[in-house]
Amino acid sequence: AQSVTQLDSHVSVSEGTPVLLRCNYSSSYSPSLFWYVQHPNKGLQLLLKYTSAATLVKGINGFEAEFKKSETSFHLTKPSAHMSDAAEYFCVVSGPTDKLIFGTGTRLQVFP
Amino acid sequence: DTGVSQDPRHKITKRGQNVTFRCDPISEHNRLYWYRQTLGQGPEFLTYFQNEAQLEKSRLLSDRFSAERPKGSFSTLEIQRTEQGDSAMYLCASSHDRVESVSPLHFGNGTRLTVT
């Protein structure tokens, strides 16, 4: 069965400093992995996806994630946080029939 | 195209009442999914359609829940005899058929249900 574990429920950073949101996955086959972002009172938005092409995936708004099979990880990073990055971030693995299995989320706070 | 549309945005109902939500997917998408999200949790899969066929239902979906997609376009999710535990955000998403790689889901803004 497929699953994801988001290692931090909350992350706080100062504006302009790097962001690291950690995710480990479990999958019985080669997985497709995603990061989605959810701003307050807004719908889920796709940040980036990994589908067995390049292991370093670039997404929108300067985010990127690296697929590491040996570590079963898919951490999300951004070199410099912006106030507008404050949101809930979900690591997601695709199961059979392409249904998405979500992690419990990481709330990112950005302080000025 | 304006994306996935859900109606209503909010619904407050009394315990025991029936409620129905509607989802209009992106027009060229033939896959449609329903998810439920409670406070502080990630969305949980409920059910999935390919065109008009309901291909998978989660064990979370009790007999009080039913979903339809009669013409392979919009979908409805009905909850009968609502319970306070049904209070949640109900999310709809749509996508293309899988071709070479997984097609990402496009989500609507959700319907927030409050059962009093």
Q: Span A19-41, mean pLDDT?
A: 90
Q: Strand B31-37 vs strand A3-6: parallel, antiparallel, or unpaired?
A: unpaired
Residue B42 has its nearest CB partner, among A52, A97, A103, at A103
Contact A43 B4 (CB under 8 A): yes
The per-residue b/e assignment along B3-29, b for 16 or more CB within 10 angstroms, e otherwise, is: ebebeeeebebeeeeebebebbbbeeb
* CB-closest option in A45, A51, A104 to B102: A51
Q: What are the tens digits of pLDDT across the range B33-90?
A: 999 999 888 999 999 999 999 988 998 888 999 999 998 899 999 999 999 999 999 9
Nearest-neighbour CA in chain A from B42: distance (Å): 5
Q: Position of tokens 């071709």?
A: B99
Q: For residues A104 and A30, which has the higher predicted lDDT (pLDDT)?
A: A104
Model pLDDT, residue A82: 96
Q: Is B53 on the interface with A (CB under 8 A)?
A: no
pLDDT of residue A37: 95
Q: Which residues contact A90 (CB under 8 A, 6 or more apart)?
A: A6, A35, A36, A37, A38, A44, A102, A103, A105, A106, B42, B43
Q: Name the residue in chain A with its Cα closest to that of B92.
A: A43
| Band of residue B112 on the pLDDT scale cut at 50, 70, 90 | very high
Decide if B115 contacts B11 (C-beta within 8 A): no
Q: Do B108 and A43 lie within an 8 Å CB cutoff?
A: yes
Q: From the candidates B46, B50, B105, B112, which should be mutated to test the interface with A, based on the most A CB atoms within 10 A?
A: B105
State the nearest Cα–Cα gap between B87 and chain A, in angstroms: 16
8 Å CB contact of A102 and B44: yes
Fill in the DSSP letter of residue A86. -
* Chain A closest-CA separation from residue B71 CA (Å): 21
pLDDT in the model for residue B102: 60
Q: In this structure, are residues B113 and B88 in contact, taking their beta carbons and an 8 Å threshold? A: yes
